Structure 1
Amino acid sequence: MKLKNPFVIVGPFLIVLILGFAYTQVKKDQFGQLKYEEFEKPGKCATCHDGFYQQWDQSMMSKAYSHHWDEIEYFKLAVAHSENDPAMKGVHEGCNGCHTPMAYMAGDVPPPHPSENSRANEAVSCDVCHTIKSITGDTSYNHNFVMEPGNTKFSSRKGKVTSPEHQIVKSDLHSTARFCGTCHNEKSGFGAWVKSTQLEWEEGPYSDEGVRCQDCHMTKANLKTARMGDTYPDTKLHLFHGAHDPGKLNGVVEIRIYPDVKEVVPGDLVVFDVMLFNQKTGHKFPTGSVEDRIVWLHVEAEDEKGNVYHLPVDKKGFEGEEYTIASDALAYQDLGVPLKKDNFEGVQREDVPVGDRIFRLPYFDPQGRMTMMQWNTKSLGVDYRFGPRETKVETYTFNLPFDVAPGKLKVSAVMNYRLLVKPVGELLEVPEEEYAIHEINRQSTEVTVLP
């Protein structure tokens, strides 16, 4: 089904709104219907699939529940919000459907903290993906997969060698993007599409060309599938590299900057155009947890004497643009509920140099305030992210100071990325190394300042 506007899709699991802004959690059919013991432990799978295990073990799939930021967000915010606000009761349950599906299916909600080393720590394990038999409904989202744990494993390939441990059934679903969409698309209880990575792909050019999620995030290699298995030239690596992987982030957006004139004198106006091309992602950039993530373009000029001048972006005038230009505004006031901070005024919205261009999709709570809690998102703002193969043009008009030094004036455009907005990370005491600035790309140009 081709979805021309994923933000107005009504799926089979639309969560009911009652009492104004009240939120009702609707459980999927398999919630609490299975047991941990029905699923194989990853270590058991490693006895034959040692290569796949080692790849998975260093991926974010294996850390979807135990990752430090996810733990903080879950227990300090989602669980606490569920406890402190009657209208949000049970809101934390759905998180586990994707971050630790076995715990969700076993009804172990909330699961023990990761420090307790329960089976919830297995997160998105081998048996989670390979016991998925089907999907309910036409649209993949909110973990609407159907699991059938047991001796039969579902895979994109049956193989030539019969496994001594289990049966293998070839599943066409495992070769499709719809499989990934069960967790990489998410609708909040208020009906807002708070994650839509697979839907973004479906709307883009790569879908039409048959380039699927697996082609970029499970790349091919000439490897054995198991110790006693066959070697295939297109064996899929289980590294699942994405938004947390520096190599995947490097150069996502190509940058070119150029001036409208090459020679200027102090007091002149010079206009710099920055061309930004999304050359790598088959979905929007950034994607996924874009309530947390922030991408911004910083432009500055440096003269011959080392004086540095910050260039704010020229405004374009579209609706909602104020959320795409860094400011000193406060936001995230709804964090006060789970954190039990009465009359919480919020924290700085981004902690990015004022005037820098931000590429984001802002989320708003029922009161219309910007939020980073996806479960408390009722509406979405302007979507100023990069679509697949999209080029954006940003303009910077620089009025040269009269004291600018003669000679070469170097103007640089740098795109930066954080996994978490810094003021929120500081508020929640998340170690900064978990959301350190990652430089996506940079490019420079020069003009000559005449005496």
Structure 2
Amino acid sequence: MALQTIILLLVSLLLSASQPLASESNPDFFRISRNSYTASEICARCHKDIYANWKESMHAKAVEDPVFMADFLMVQLKRGPQVKEYCLSCHAPTTRVTEDYDLRGTASNEGVACDFCHTVSGLGLIGKPDYYKIDKGITKYGPFRDTESPAHETQYSEIHTKSEFCAGCHELVNGNGVLVMGTFSEWKEGPYSKEGIQCQNCHMPIVYDKNVVDPSVKESSHFVTAHEFRGGHSVINLTNAAVVRTEVEREGDVAKVVTRITNSESGHKLPTGTPARKVVLNTRIIDPGGNLLAEVNKVYRKVLVDDDGIILEDNAGMILNAAQVFSDNRIAPGETRTETFKFDIPDGVDMFTVENTLQYEFSRPILRTEKIVYQMSHEVIEVSGGHASSQVLSTDDSSGRFVILVLAMGVLVIGLLVFFRFDKKKLGTKSSLV
């Protein structure tokens, strides 16, 4: 038995000696492709934290997202399979190089894959098919200087820190020359670009207590740039995007509601992206019995029409058929929009409540489902006589978050005290913490 054990140990040593160490620079050991795209799961072997973050992002789901797939199939039905290249150039951008428009390869099905962004070595003219200059192979480009990897060559890239990097897909002009989606140009024309604040500052902030490289591979920085790319699908971003303040006055049988909406945290218009997205201000007057006395909706959106002047509602129609911008009342970065509504209050109603809700809506008529709605802000103001007597602040109010934080800290402290008290009783005078 002892002899068997010794033989097994010797065999194991020989096998391990024949394999290259993870610390050695050996792309072949890590299965990094030298002439094509490397699957993101390969990247995860070293970049576990970043991969886990990216995997939950809309970039990773850019192909599998059922909303996109519905539009993708509809466009093909209307214009034929040749439009695949147009759509996939952003939803599966590795196809710009591989031409895998039938999505047969692994990288094609990964959406905006790790290896696409990190093989971009330069940028061309916005709107051109060759906007992204690709350097496939073992050199990976990124925003950090003086980095080394045992798996591949590394190269600092300033363009990975600039908004221009995002412009290749977040700026869309259709075949009729209509700017369907202008997120980049909205940023470029606004105050954030003049202050040097890039898309990455908000959508890829620094996250601490995460490793660039798994410690089992090599020592690295313990902070990363977020790869979940929070945007219009993020409740956190939406609730912080705007500040809403409402004042109510009653003059006889008329209630005047003045609401000010400030686009305080978005570097682009509110909303941005495809024009299927809208922001709606809903103002309601409710009596003490809960009865709705009056209601009004103010919609902020970009409206596109076709050659016949028909308003287009779905993404496929906008991309294919938009002939001009009919209207655009979205709120620009830093802008405060003031809305004043007057409501008739019935005789005998001395008290009433004003409910003001700002919500983000994403209508998808192509799927024939309910629209997607996120609440951005909610105010409740009780009015008695001619004065507003109480107010519940918007959901984006920082004091509310502070109270929650204090309560959480209190619960944590109490929990620790209980733990240590129980621990000492259990073990006598010895502590379990060494």
Q: TM-score range by the shorter chain?
A: 0.7 to 0.9
1:440 corresponding residue in structure 2: 376
1:226 corresponding residue in structure 2: 213
Q: Is the 8 Å Cα contact of residues 284 and 385 (structure 1) preserved in structure 2? A: yes
In the TM superposition, residue 36 of structure 1 has moved relative to its aligned partner by 12
Letter of the aligned partner of 1:154 in structure 2? Y
2:323 corresponding residue in structure 1: 378
2:28 corresponding residue in structure 1: none
In the TM superposition, residue 64 of structure 1 has moved relative to its aligned partner by 0.4
Question: CA separation in 1, counterparts of 2:245 and 2:56?
Answer: 35
1:123 corresponding residue in structure 2: 111
Whether 2:52 is the aligned partner of 1:54: answer yes
Q: How do residues 343-362 of structure 1 correspond to structure 2 at under 5 angstroms? A: 356-362=297-303
Residue number among 282, 305, 308 corresponding to 1:364 in the alignment: 305
Q: How do residues 22-33 of structure 1 correspond to structure 2 at under 5 angstroms? A: none
Question: CA separation in 1, counterparts of 2:37 and 2:108?
Answer: 12
Question: When the two structures are superposed, what TM-score results if normalisation uses the length of structure 2?
Answer: 0.75
**Corresponding pairs, count:** 347
Question: CA separation in 2, counterparts of 1:203 and 1:256?
Answer: 26
Q: Is the 8 Å Cα contact of residues 131 and 152 (structure 1) preserved in structure 2? A: yes
Whether 2:158 is the aligned partner of 1:172: answer yes
> Helix, strand or coil: the match of 2:169?
helix
Question: CA separation in 1, counterparts of 2:199 and 2:170?
Answer: 11
Letter of the aligned partner of 1:392 in structure 2? R
After superposition, what is the alpha-carbon deviation per residue over 1:161-200, rounded to whole angstroms, capped at 9, x for unaligned?
A: x212111111111111000111111111111111111111
Residue number among 63, 66, 70 corresponding to 2:64 in the alignment: 66
Whether 2:183 is the aligned partner of 1:186: answer no
Residue number among 181, 184, 209 corresponding to 1:198 in the alignment: 184
1:217 corresponding residue in structure 2: 203
Whether 2:236 is the aligned partner of 1:247: answer yes
Letter of the aligned partner of 2:287 in structure 1? D
Residue number among 399, 405, 422 corresponding to 2:349 in the alignment: 405
Letter of the aligned partner of 1:135 in structure 2? L
2:290 corresponding residue in structure 1: 306
Letter of the aligned partner of 2:286 in structure 1? E
Question: CA separation in 2, counterparts of 1:51 and 1:141?
Answer: 34
> Helix, strand or coil: the match of 1:184?
coil
RMSD: 2.3
Question: CA separation in 2, counterparts of 1:384 and 1:399?
Answer: 27
After superposition, what is the alpha-carbon deviation per residue over 1:126-151, rounded to whole angstroms, capped at 9, x for unaligned?
A: 001001111112x4676721212111
Select the structure with the greater relative contact order (CA < 8 A; seq sep ≥ 6): 1
2:249 corresponding residue in structure 1: 260
> Helix, strand or coil: the match of 1:282?
coil
Q: Is the 8 Å Cα contact of residues 260 and 270 (structure 1) preserved in structure 2? A: yes
Question: CA separation in 2, counterparts of 1:54 and 1:418?
Answer: 28
After superposition, what is the alpha-carbon deviation per residue over 1:215-236, rounded to whole angstroms, capped at 9, x for unaligned?
A: 1111112343112455447631
Over 3 Å counting, the alpha-carbon distance change for 1:50 and 1:233 in structure 2 is closer
In the TM superposition, residue 242 of structure 1 has moved relative to its aligned partner by 0.8
Q: How do residues 145-156 of structure 1 correspond to structure 2 at under 5 angstroms? A: 145-156=132-143
> Helix, strand or coil: the match of 2:94?
helix
Residue number among 336, 356, 360 corresponding to 1:391 in the alignment: 336
Question: When the two structures are superposed, what TM-score results if normalisation uses the length of structure 1?
Answer: 0.72
> Helix, strand or coil: the match of 1:69?
helix
Whether 2:34 is the aligned partner of 1:90: answer no
Letter of the aligned partner of 1:94 in structure 2? Y
Over 3 Å counting, the alpha-carbon distance change for 1:361 and 1:298 in structure 2 is same
Q: Unpaired segments of 5 or more residues in structure 1? A: 1-34, 84-88, 313-355
Letter of the aligned partner of 2:238 in structure 1? L
Over 3 Å counting, the alpha-carbon distance change for 1:234 and 1:196 in structure 2 is farther
Letter of the aligned partner of 2:112 in structure 1? V
Residue number among 85, 89, 92 corresponding to 1:100 in the alignment: 92
Greater share of residues in helix: 2
Query: Structure 1 vs Structure 2: percent identity of aligned residues?
Result: 27
In the TM superposition, residue 251 of structure 1 has moved relative to its aligned partner by 3.6
After superposition, what is the alpha-carbon deviation per residue over 1:13-63, rounded to whole angstroms, capped at 9, x for unaligned?
A: xxxxxxxxxxxxxxxxxxxxxx99710000110111111100000111100
Question: CA separation in 2, counterparts of 1:236 and 1:247?
Answer: 17
> Helix, strand or coil: the match of 1:64?
coil
1:133 corresponding residue in structure 2: 121
> Helix, strand or coil: the match of 2:289?
coil
Work out which of the two has the higher radius of gyration on C-alpha atoms and give 1 or 2. Answer: 2
Q: Is the 8 Å Cα contact of residues 124 and 130 (structure 2) preserved in structure 1? A: no
1:111 corresponding residue in structure 2: 103
Q: How do residues 320-359 of structure 1 correspond to structure 2 at under 5 angstroms? A: 356-359=297-300
Q: Is the 8 Å Cα contact of residues 34 and 137 (structure 2) preserved in structure 1? A: no
> Helix, strand or coil: the match of 2:168?
helix
Letter of the aligned partner of 2:76 in structure 1? V
Q: Is the 8 Å Cα contact of residues 38 and 107 (structure 2) preserved in structure 1? A: no
Letter of the aligned partner of 2:211 in structure 1? K
Question: CA separation in 2, counterparts of 1:171 and 1:415?
Answer: 40
Q: Unpaired segments of 5 or more residues in structure 2? A: 1-32, 387-434
Over 3 Å counting, the alpha-carbon distance change for 1:73 and 1:37 in structure 2 is farther
In the TM superposition, residue 416 of structure 1 has moved relative to its aligned partner by 1.5
In the TM superposition, residue 419 of structure 1 has moved relative to its aligned partner by 2.2
Letter of the aligned partner of 1:156 in structure 2? P
After superposition, what is the alpha-carbon deviation per residue over 1:236-284, rounded to whole angstroms, capped at 9, x for unaligned?
A: 12111111111211142221111234xx55xx22221111111211111
Question: CA separation in 1, counterparts of 2:176 and 2:267?
Answer: 27
In the TM superposition, residue 107 of structure 1 has moved relative to its aligned partner by 1.9
Question: CA separation in 1, counterparts of 2:88 and 2:51?
Answer: 22
Question: CA separation in 1, counterparts of 2:268 and 2:130?
Answer: 20
